[in-house]
Structure 1
Amino acid sequence: MAGFVATVALSVLMMMKHAMGLMPELDPIGMISHMLGMSTPLVGWVMHFMIGIVWGMAFALTSRMFPGAFWLKGMLFSVAPWLIMMFVMMPMAGAGVFGLDLGMAAPVMTLMLHLVFGAVLGAVYGTRASSVTPA
């Protein structure tokens, strides 16, 4: 649930970025679709949400390892998916390590987006975790 909600928040920011014309060359949905050999963005969106949900499950398993409030735990956790994107996904998509082939703003923009994802992930997970009472 938290991974899905955090992915929705991230997706809204990505659409706002696109609508404002900020870094149009930074298109993670298009990158995912292209890497899968598909021309439709629908495939990219489905994979984007699947990845977000998997990261949400990973956070649920590891959140105790991070200090602070849940929103902070989520932000700290979100550095891991960002680093994987920078070192694996960006080069696979032809954007170079850290996406630097897209410009210097690419790693900064993606880090900010991931930190928001993490904050929402942690906040939603923390709210749900605190509402569950042990039997």
Structure 2
Amino acid sequence: MSDFQNPYDYSGNNFFYNFFGEIEMNNKITKTLTAGVVATIAMTIVMFMAPLMGLPKMNAAEMLSMTMGFPIIVGWIMHFMIGIIFALGYTFIISKLLFKISNKILNGAIYGMIVFVFAQIAMAMMGLIFTMPKMSGNMVLMMLGSVIGHVVFGIAVSVILKSKLEVQNSILVKS
């Protein structure tokens, strides 16, 4: 990242000028929220395509809602909130630990595996509190599908956030 400071920024906030000279806010949280939502959508698409790849049907929102006894819409809201929370975890914690890995795909794949492990721990803990729905299908294939989905999530978060920073830095350098 560049240590470039915009000479026209007198506000004390992190602002930069875009190509058209308009002020845009450099807001790490907004970028992370966007990355969390987009990455969760990418993971959800992979989950819904799983049966086409020979993997069992996976629907995290349905599983969350059935486990906790809530309507499916609550499961969807929780699914996206969890995705946003994990994206925030990447931005503020994990990216600082994985900073030496410059490859966005590898960085994201490693993060996806970390998220997968956390998800398995969280599911085990939820199983102690709530009655878990019976899993249908081969458990090895379920785990493989879950790994694939979480790795897609991690890669999407990494690529989106690192690309936004690269674009921002190139705009700042050209200004």
Provide TM-score, normalisation by structure 1. Answer: 0.80
1:74-119 CA distances to partner (integer Å, 9 max, x unpaired)? 21112122112222215635379xx798522111110011111111
- Show the 5 A alignment for 1:64-83: 64-66=96-98, 67-83=101-117
1:24-76 CA distances to partner (integer Å, 9 max, x unpaired)? 3x4322221123321x3211111111110111111111213212322321211
The higher radius of gyration belongs to: 2
> Are residue 103 (structure 1) and residue 145 (structure 2) matched?
no
Contact 1:79–1:114 (CA under 8 A) maintained in structure 2: yes
Moved more, 41-50 or 83-92: 83-92
Contact 1:70–1:122 (CA under 8 A) maintained in structure 2: yes
CA distance in 2, matches of 1:12, 1:90: 24
- SS in structure 2 of the partner of residue 132 of structure 1: helix
> Are residue 51 (structure 1) and residue 82 (structure 2) matched?
yes
> Are residue 124 (structure 1) and residue 156 (structure 2) matched?
no
CA distance in 2, matches of 1:81, 1:126: 18
Q: Gapped runs of 5+ residues in structure 1?
A: none
Q: CA deviation at 1:125?
A: 0.7
Provide TM-score, normalisation by structure 2. Answer: 0.64
Using the aligned pairs only, state the percent identity.
25
CA distance in 1, matches of 2:85, 2:124: 19
1:3-36 CA distances to partner (integer Å, 9 max, x unpaired)? 1111111111122235778413x43222211233
The structure that is helix-richer by fraction is: 1
Contact 1:78–1:117 (CA under 8 A) maintained in structure 2: yes
> Are residue 5 (structure 1) and residue 5 (structure 2) matched?
no
Q: Partner amino acid for 2:166?
A: S
CA distance in 2, matches of 1:102, 1:92: 21
Q: Number of matched residues?
A: 131
Q: Gapped runs of 5+ residues in structure 2?
A: 1-33
Contact 2:36–2:86 (CA under 8 A) maintained in structure 1: yes
